[in-house]
Structure 1
Amino acid sequence: MPSATATPKPATAPGRKKAPAKASAKAATKALAAQEPGAPAAVLTLSSKNYSSWSLRGYLLCRLAGLAFTEARVSADDPAIRAELLLQSSSFLVPRLDHEGLRIWDTLAIAEYLHEWKPEAGLLPRDRAARAHCRSISGEMHSGFANLRSALPMNIKAHHPGFKVWAGAQGDILRIVAIWTECLGTYGGPYLFGAAPTMADAMYAPVCSRFTTYDVPLDPQSRAYCATMLALPAMQDWMAAAREEPEEMEELDVEF
């Protein structure tokens, strides 16, 4: 992990707990089969709540859409998931939504599916121009900002005051702040497209967590937006679960 001041050293916490055994790839199918009659007809397959920004996005999208779902977990010990969390490869395993006999993976696909399923939830703005803008910045997050991901990996349980951000990530940070500034100024906040959170807020929520973890300096408007996102009940639930998560990855839990 790039650092401007020091070479990361492995953490040596004596009480490190071993991650649970690898979950089966059939976890969602088993979860669906185990449901009682009348239970939610949806399963969201996730990986680590502490480390996986993509799982967080899928979770927030389902919560914002008002979808009742149960969770299935794929352990961070799964080789494909571990490679994704360490930015060594991409994984299409999580998040994945199983709903009414359909299987949807990839966060943008999940977002569009949920918008079609329940358009009144407001995952996309009503105004056509705003919808196009929302899709554009969501797609930009989906496919870009590789330097940010590498320099500031997701880690909700960690906090690094005064962290020196790798110079290569500064451009990504400036671009994200520019997106936020434009959206908040155009649509009036407190969310990116106005009074209620949308697909775009779900896509940028992990950035708010990363900026907090690594103590990234922000202007007052961007700080306020981060505080608004982190205060969302769905975000609060996710972060509480992340802090209780026993899984730890020594490659990401380092002393800076």
Structure 2
Amino acid sequence: MESWSFTSFKRYNEETFTGDFQLIDANGQLVAEITGMSLKRARSQSLNAIVTSDRRSPNWLYQIQWQLQANTATQATTKLGYWIILSDRTGVGDALALKLKQLGQGVEIIYAANSVSEFPHLPISSSCLGVVYLWSLDSSLPVETNTGSLVKIVQQLIADRIEVPLWSITQNSQAILKTDLKETALETSCLWGLGKVIALEHPELWGGSIDLDITTNFADSADSILQEILAPDREFQLAFRQGKRYVSRLIESQLPSLGQQFSLHPMVLI
């Protein structure tokens, strides 16, 4: 849901701020309101003292955890239309297109442009069921072309006023397993950050981010993508490793133990 926030401060000084807060939806309707909200400045020393003390709350710290979860979807969509596949040249996009055609769906395949300036106008209409972005699987494609192309797709969807889900597909851009740390593709991980921004600003256009296992063959990768884009209930951040499906979850975390403290003095030699 697109919304706007308005805050007006009536009284403020170096220590406190007092004012009113309103949350307005895209139609100008009031969603939430706080009158007389007071904020007090917190010193960094005070915050550090609380965080490192035994009085800290267990609900303060959170982290992302990848959890194993099977796909429980039992029925794929039966709506007929066509899909736009911005296909890679490794075989995943072609395999996905074939599987969609076998289900009676139409497919428009577009291969990577050399630069963002050459990005084509997509044949999007009301019968389009979704857009699947696979260009990032081509290792030769520059980072700027990957991110810029994803932005171009969103801009066209907004300009054409057509709401269809956009899926961004990457390979080993997330460290799901410990072994992934050796082969993480940092050059495409930025697409995940961009995907989070799109999901927040235009949730009506976002299908999700799927990170594939680089060791999986293109046919199995296409199967994994197909199950997700046709599922009635979507996960917005997914990964596949060694044939298993992982979902992103926010969980409570704790500060690591500081261990033995070491005080460095000017005359210490190392």
TM-score range, shorter chain: under 0.3
- Between Structure 1 and Structure 2, the one with more helix by share is 1
Q: Higher strand fraction: Structure 1 or Structure 2?
A: 2
If asked which structure has higher relative contact order (CA below 8 Å, sep 6+), I would say 1
Larger radius of gyration: 2
